[in-house]
């Protein structure tokens, strides 16, 4: 039974970004190019800013860059860190090292604290590193909220408390690319100085927009830099005198229409509901995974549920069953699961043990049950040993009021 997923039924791209695009987002983008010098597009863009800030839970500044998450990473660093200055990177997965490497690329000294691939930050070790920094050489902590490779979620509010307790002036730069619009994130209440995200995950828009939110305190850091490259400079973007300055050139017209539709969806549902929907769907997934793991090799990468993302779940089977399962569900069911990323080297056969589930953005209970049913079917088809009762366990979670 091999189906051609392009012609029969809807396929489900259950990878942790890009996420499923809502029909209303696609429809909003299906239009001719607008005038970029006057009219509707300009008014619409101005209206996006307050609605983006509501997603980040900030009263401060919001900027939009044409670029992906890496662009937002670079933008945040370019406005806060000078060559030769130090950044501290507590790492719970590969994306933390990716951001750190970007900091190295702009000439920063990068100090890593590696907590492995299945554990959240150890705040005591972060405290030791900050305490030892008596000269305050560390100008920023690069804090990945949810590391999409491991599916570990870190406690950013606790990091703020730690910096305050130690009276350390380092800024918190938070990577919320996988978490914003999925896991609770409150920029102002948590004392985050700069938050970055991108369009293609919880925000449900195709890849191509990066967002940087920053406070006045972060802007003070920018003002003491010897130079800020023009394209990345957030000042004109956050407070443009002419529309052209929002994007340093031509606006990403169609992405903006898509973003308008996506923000309408998010705020019609409300941030609290968006977060609780993701939490509930994640609990259903974990309940199923815990049943599967009762027999055989399936393992949730993050043991402690309080450190698990609500948007992505990293899993492991015996190698090469992770890869076999992904290939089977894609080919036979039109269900595409995420590859394991950064958990084992490219030449390491163990890399075929890992896979990930994306459950971010435009997802609901029937999609999650279909995804879990697809995995169950693949495990059976491939004779991969697994515990029973996974779908019942997920249904029990979703059946609760
Ligand atoms: C997806 C992701 C990135 C990278 O974003 P790109 O758009 O692929 O550049 C960085 N950090 C996290 C946490 C992510 O989930």
Render pLDDT for 139-181 as a digit per residue (tens, 0 to 9). Answer: 999 999 999 999 999 999 999 999 999 999 999 999 999 999 9
Q: Residue 112 forms beta bridges with which residues?
A: 89
Which ligand 1 atom is the nearest neighbour of the CA of 144? 13
Beta strand ranges found along 165-295 (DSSP E) = 171-175, 194-198, 209-214
| Atom 6, ligand 1: residue with shortest CA distance | 69
As a whole number, mean pLDDT of residues 307-318 equals: 98
**Contact 225/76 with Cβ under 8 angstroms?**
no
Q: Is the CB of 5 under 6 A from ligand 1?
A: no
Query: Residues 369-396: pLDDT tens digits?
Result: 999 999 999 999 999 999 999 999 999 9
Residue 401 has what pLDDT? 84
Q: Is the CB of residue 336 less than 8 Å from the CB of residue 13?
A: yes
Does residue 374 have its Cβ closer than 6 Å to ligand 1? no
Number of other CB atoms surrounding residue 113 within 10 Å: 17
In this structure, what DSSP letter does residue 149 have? T
CB 126 within 8 A of CB 92: no
SS3 state at 96 = helix
71 lines ligand 1 (CB under 6 A): no
Stretch 77-81: mean pLDDT: 98
Domain definitions of the chain by residue range:
23-267, 270-399
pLDDT for the residue 224 = 95
Distance CA 142, CA 164 (A): 16
For 12-42, b where at least 16 C-beta lie within 10 A, e where not — what string? bbbbbbbbbbbebbeebbeeeebebeeeebb
Whose CA is closest to atom 4 on ligand 1?
69
Rounded Cα gap, residues 130 and 96, in angstroms:
18
- Residue 5 pLDDT > 70: no
Backbone angles phi and psi of 110, in degrees to 5: -115, 125
Q: Which atom of ligand 1 is nearest to the CA of 210?
A: 7
Task: Work out the average pLDDT over 49-76.
Answer: 98
CB 16 within 8 A of CB 360: yes
**Ligand 1 center to residue 80 CA distance, Å?**
20
CA 70–ligand 1 middle distance (angstroms): 7
* pLDDT given for residue 8 in this prediction: 84
Name the percent of the chain lying above pLDDT 90: 96
Q: How confident is the model at residue 223 (pLDDT cuts 50, 70, 90)?
A: very high
Q: Which atom of ligand 1 is nearest to the CA of 178?
A: 15
Least confident of 72-76, 169-173, 242-246, 302-306: 242-246
- The residue whose CA has the least distance to atom 3 of ligand 1 is 69
- DSSP result, 313-363: EEEE-STTHHHHHHHHHHHHHSEEEEEP-SSS-TT-GGGGGEEEEE--SS-
> How is domain 270-399 classified at the CATH fold level?
3.90.1150
- At residue 2, the pLDDT reads 53
pLDDT above 60 (res 365): yes
Is the model's pTM score more than 0.75?
A: yes
Is 264:52 a contact under the CB 8 Å cutoff?
Answer: no
Instruction: Please tell me the distance from the alpha carbon of residue 34 to that of residue 167, in angstroms, as a whole number.
Output: 50
Residue 7: pLDDT over 80: no
Q: Which atom of ligand 1 is nearest to the CA of 207?
A: 7
Yes or no: say if 93 and 144 are a contact pair by the CB < 8 Å rule.
yes
Fold of 23-267: 3.40.640
């Amino acid at each position: 039974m091999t189906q051609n997923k392009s012609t029969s039924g809807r396929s489900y791209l259950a990878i942790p970004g890009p996420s499923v695009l809502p029909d209303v987002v696609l429809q909003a983008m299906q239009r001719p190019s607008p005038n970029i010098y006057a009219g509707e597009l300009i008014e619409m863009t101005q209206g996006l800013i307050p609605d983006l800030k509501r997603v980040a839970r900030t009263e401060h500044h919001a900027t939009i860059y044409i670029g992906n998450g890496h662009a937002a990473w670079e933008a945040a660093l370019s406005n806060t860190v000078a060559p030769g200055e130090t950044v501290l990177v507590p790492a719970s997965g590969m994306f933390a090292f990716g951001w750190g490497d970007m900091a190295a690329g702009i000439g920063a000294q990068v100090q890593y604290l590696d907590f492995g691939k299945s554990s959240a930050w150890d705040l005591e070790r972060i405290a030791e590193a900050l305490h030892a920094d008596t000269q305050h050489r560390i100008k920023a902590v690069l804090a990945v909220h949810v590391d999409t490779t491991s599916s570990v979620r870190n406690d950013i509010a606790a990091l703020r408390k730690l910096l305050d307790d130690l009276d350390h002036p380092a800024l918190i730069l938070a990577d919320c690319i996988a978490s914003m619009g999925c896991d609770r994130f409150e920029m102002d209440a948590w004392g985050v100085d700069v938050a970055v995200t991108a369009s293609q995950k919880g925000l449900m828009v195709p890849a191509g927009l990066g967002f940087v939110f920053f406070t006045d305190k972060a802007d003070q850091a920018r003002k003491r830099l010897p130079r800020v490259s023009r394209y990345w400079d957030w000042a004109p973007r956050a407070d443009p005198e002419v529309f052209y300055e929002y994007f340093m050139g031509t606006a990403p017209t169609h992405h903006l229409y898509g973003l308008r539709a996506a923000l309408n969806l998010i705020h019609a549902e409300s941030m609290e509901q968006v977060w609780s929907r993701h939490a509930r769907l994640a609990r259903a997934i974990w309940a199923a995974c815990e049943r599967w793991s009762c027999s055989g090799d399936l393992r949730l990468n993050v043991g402690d549920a309080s450190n698990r993302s609500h948007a992505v779940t990293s899993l492991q089977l015996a190698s090469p069953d992770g890869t076999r399962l992904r290939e089977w569900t894609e080919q036979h069911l039109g269900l595409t699961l995420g590859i394991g990323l950064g958990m084992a080297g490219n030449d390491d056969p163990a890399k075929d043990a890992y896979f990930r589930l994306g459950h971010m953005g435009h997802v609901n209970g029937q999609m999650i049950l279909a995804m879990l049913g697809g995995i169950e079917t693949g495990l059976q088809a491939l004779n991969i040993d697994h515990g029973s009762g996974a779908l019942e366990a997920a249904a029990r979670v979703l059946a609760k009021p």
